[in-house]
Amino acid sequence: MITFLIIGITVLISIAAFSNYSLMDKFIFRPAESGSGRWYRFFTYGVLHADYTHLIFNMFTLYFFGGDIERTFKTTFGEQAGVFFYLLLYVTALPISIFPTYLKQKSNTNYRGLGASGAVSAIIFAYILINPMNFMGILFIPVWLPAFLFGTIFLLISVSLDKKQSKGINHSAHITGGLYGVVFMVTVFIAFANINLISEFADKVKIDSIYDLIRIGY
């Protein structure tokens, strides 16, 4: 699957960059140096990670949700078109999720950014849109919530942390990437398959919620 290809490329380059400063320095996101022919940094920062924990967490999350979204695209649009749209979602989510950071930090020569979190957030929220009543949680934390509720809480917490300027984590990229994932899915499915995902999302939440309440009552 394409998901494994993305994971493989990201893992190989990230691990290579751990011990290769010149590679890390060349690919890392530097807002102040992202112009003048160095626009590629808007994409290459996504194949770099700070350490093994950062890398494993992002790639495990992509593996868990990416395969489902990849299959959804292929089922809806066919094999080739499905692969194209899936790749388009992931690749375009990289520059779009980091763009607010670029606007804020473009004069800061000391700022550095790396990690696939923004693109992975786009995949997660694409999954939430398609499967709003599937249960989701955080690794090692035994609390599971319906996906649409988990996503809402995640966004609210991310906005709060972004305002507090929590160091080390780019919450802005998570927010922007997640919202972009939803917008991309809705737009592509309406334009190329005449499928209204917003309507389907609302129906799934309503119907499944009522069913669960009835089942619990019995």
Residue 54: closest CA among 80, 82, 18:
18
| Model pTM score | 0.92
- Mean pLDDT in order along the chain per 10 residues (218 residues): 96 97 95 82 96 96 96 97 98 97 92 96 98 83 84 92 79 96 98 97 77 49
pLDDT at res. 36: 66
User: How many CA atoms does the CB half-sphere of 36 hold within 13 Å?
Assistant: 5
Q: Which residues contact 21 (CB under 8 A, 6 or more apart)?
A: none
Residue 113: closest CA among 160, 173, 53, 57:
173
Q: Which tokens go with 179?
A: 């919202």
pLDDT at res. 213: 45
If residue 27 lies in a helix (H) or strand (E), which one and from where to where? helix 21-27
Classified by CATH at the fold level, domain 2-217 comes out as Rhomboid-like fold (1.20.1540)
Q: Which tokens go with 170?
A: 């780019």
Q: How far apart are CA 54 and CA 46, in angstroms?
A: 12
Q: Which residues contact 103 (CB under 8 A, 6 or more apart)?
A: none
Q: Is 93 helix (H, G, I), strand (E, B) or coil?
A: helix
DSSP 8-class letter at 110:
T
Q: Give pLDDT tens digits for 128-139.
A: 999 999 998 776
